[in-house]
């Protein structure tokens, strides 16, 4: 036996108890990781998933700051969607192009990065408005699923001596695999849900979503005593536009009109395309007259805009309010549509408010169209509601438009709007 055998055995035996807790902690971390895989993959909504990712990663790899990015692969940019940081507002307002900074470098090369003195790394890029050269350690994990970049995870520890060890880096990488799969699943679900809720031509909410949102708004208003208004809008003489310019140009005008509607309504208003040239808006407000003011702005705005290639178009708008005119969704829609058809019959390019004062329907034009027949059917159903439409005439609108003649007019195109 050599002189070194006994001392070496003593060193091994004394080191073993110290190593055991570290190994046990690592095994426990991987057990937690297995549980986290199941929990993260089970999340259905994107918002809940982001919260779960943040909480789970904090358990596995303690840190001082976290940012979660979603990837926009078309524009090659990372968009921050979740941040736990004292500078969260600045971080969420920033964009990280692929290849820029440590995060962009990791995504561009599809490679996880650990830098224990990240502030000294030449690849580092500082978010505008946050301290430069702040001592920190960083792990950034590209989130890759189905060979596609889904986003990135950044975890930070702050301070001169901050660092992440090899085991923590490995845990973060394995966690990133689960997060990428979960994010991909959530994005697929969100995309399918969006497709089910929206009109593919205009991107507005569709007929089904219109009814769902209206029912929800009326239910909520019954408790809060708010007014729920339904505006039914129809493009005047749209058949002529299709006949003269073709259905492709007609689609272009529908998209441009959708954009124009979005530019006028509030973020809380629900704008829908019901089919063909018919649109609807659901809006809730304490002030019942807000919908009337919005309708006037819409009619004037559309009449003064130029739509390529047709030039000028106009819309007719019918307006009904709940609970004033009806609290049943079907009846409220019928009131608004009857008012809209009255606007058509009275000369188009105007707003008609459904009024409860009488039952008579205004005289129809000589040529009765399918839409008129449908309106008459609605009016028969509305006999029990005891109302008739009240209109703001096109003459009033023309007078109002003349007073605004000095205002610049806008040209709407498919993708964006610009001054004519």
CB 390 within 8 A of CB 355: yes
Q: Quick check: 32 and 60 in contact, CB under 8 A?
A: yes
Each residue's pLDDT expressed in tens, for the chain with a length of 420 residues? 444 443 444 444 444 455 555 565 666 666 777 677 777 777 777 888 889 899 989 988 999 999 999 999 899 999 999 999 999 999 999 999 999 999 999 999 999 999 999 989 999 999 988 988 889 999 999 999 999 999 999 999 999 999 999 999 999 999 999 899 999 988 898 899 999 999 999 999 999 999 999 999 999 988 888 899 999 999 999 999 989 999 999 999 999 999 999 999 999 999 999 999 999 999 998 787 889 999 999 999 999 998 988 888 999 999 999 888 988 999 999 999 999 999 999 999 999 999 743 233 444 444 434 444 345 445 545 544 444 555 444 434 444 444 444 433 333 333 333 333
- Please report the DSSP string for 19-36 in residue order: HHHHHHHHHHHHHHHHHH
- Residue 27 has a pLDDT of 65
Q: Where are the domains of the chain?
A: 25-194, 207-419
Q: What is the pLDDT of residue 207?
A: 95
Exposed/middle/buried for residue 113 (C-beta within 10 Å: 0-12, 13-18, 19+) = buried
Q: Are 231 and 283 in contact (CB under 8 A)?
A: yes
Say what the pLDDT of residue 32 is.
72
Does 402 sit behind a cis peptide bond, omega within 30 degrees of 0 on the bond before it? no
Q: What is the pLDDT of residue 30?
A: 66
Angstrom CA distances, 112 to 67, 138, 231, 380, stand at 15, 11, 52, 68
CA distance 387 to 354: 7
Record the pTM. Answer: 0.65
Which residue in the block uniquely carries the two structure tokens 């060979």? 147
pLDDT for 3: 46
Looking at the DSSP bridge assignments, the partners of residue 417 are 412
pLDDT at position 224? 86
- Quick one: which of 111, 108, 182 has its CA closest to 140? 111
Fold of 207-419: Alpha-Beta Plaits (3.30.70)
Residue 45's pLDDT is what?
A: 79
Same-fold call for 25-194 versus 207-419:
no
pLDDT at 11: 42
Name every residue whose Cβ is closer than 8 Å to that of residue 199 and which is 6 or more positions away in sequence: 205, 206, 272, 273
Half-sphere exposure of 367 (CA within 13 A, CB side): 2
pLDDT of residue 295: 93
- Say what the pLDDT of residue 132 is: 82
Q: Which two tokens stand for residue 103?
A: 């995060």
User: How many Cβ atoms are within 10 Å of 105's Cβ, its own excluded?
Assistant: 19
pLDDT reported for residue 397: 46
Overall fold of domain 25-194:
Beta-Lactamase (3.30.450)
Q: Tell me, what's the pLDDT at 25?
A: 61
pLDDT at 321: 92
């Amino acid at each position: 036996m050599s002189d070194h055998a006994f001392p070496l055995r003593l060193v091994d035996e004394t080191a073993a108890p110290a190593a055991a807790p570290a190994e046990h902690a690592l095994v426990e971390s991987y057990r937690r990781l297995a549980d986290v895989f199941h929990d993260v993959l089970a999340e259905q909504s994107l918002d809940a998933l982001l919260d779960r990712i943040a909480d789970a990663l904090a358990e596995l790899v303690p840190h001082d700051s976290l940012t979660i990015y979603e990837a926009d692969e078309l524009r090659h940019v990372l968009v921050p969607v979740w941040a736990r940081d004292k500078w969260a507002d600045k971080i969420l307002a920033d964009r990280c192009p692929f290849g820029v900074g440590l995060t962009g470098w990791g995504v561009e090369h599809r490679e996880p990065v650990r830098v224990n003195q990240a502030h000294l790394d030449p690849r580092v890029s500082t978010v505008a408005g946050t301290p430069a050269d702040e001592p920190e350690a960083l792990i950034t994990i590209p989130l890759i699923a189905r060979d596609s970049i889904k986003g990135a995870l950044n975890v930070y520890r702050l301070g001169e001596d901050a660092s992440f060890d090899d085991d923590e880096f490995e845990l973060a990488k394995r966690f990133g695999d689960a997060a990428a799969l979960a994010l991909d699943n959530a994005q697929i679900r969100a995309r399918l849900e969006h497709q089910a809720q929206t009109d593919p031509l205009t991107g507005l909410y569709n007929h089904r979503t219109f009814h769902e949102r209206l029912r929800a708004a009326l239910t909520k208003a019954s408790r809060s005593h708010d007014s729920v208004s339904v505006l039914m809008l129809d493009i005047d003489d749209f058949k002529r536009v299709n006949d003269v310019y073709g259905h492709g140009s007609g689609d272009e005008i529908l998209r441009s009109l959708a954009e124009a509607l979005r530019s006028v309504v509030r973020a809380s208003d629900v704008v829908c395309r019901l089919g063909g040239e018919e649109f609807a808006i659901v809006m809730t407000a304490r002030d019942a007259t807000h919908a009337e003011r919005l309708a006037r702005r819409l009619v004037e705005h559309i009449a003064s805009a130029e739509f390529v290639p047709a030039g000028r178009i106009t819309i007719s708008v019918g307006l009904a309010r709940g609970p004033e005119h009806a609290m049943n969704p079907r009846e409220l829609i019928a009131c608004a549509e009857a008012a809209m058809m009255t606007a058509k019959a009275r000369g188009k390019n105007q707003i008609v408010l459904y009024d409860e004062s009488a039952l008579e329907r205004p005289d129809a034009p000589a040529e009765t169209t399918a839409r008129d027949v449908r309106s008459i059917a609605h009016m028969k159903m509305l006999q029990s509601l005891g109302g008739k439409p009240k209109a703001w005439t096109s003459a009033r609108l023309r007078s109002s438009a003349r007073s605004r003649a000095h205002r610049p007019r806008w040209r709407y195109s498919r993708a964006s709007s610009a001054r004519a």
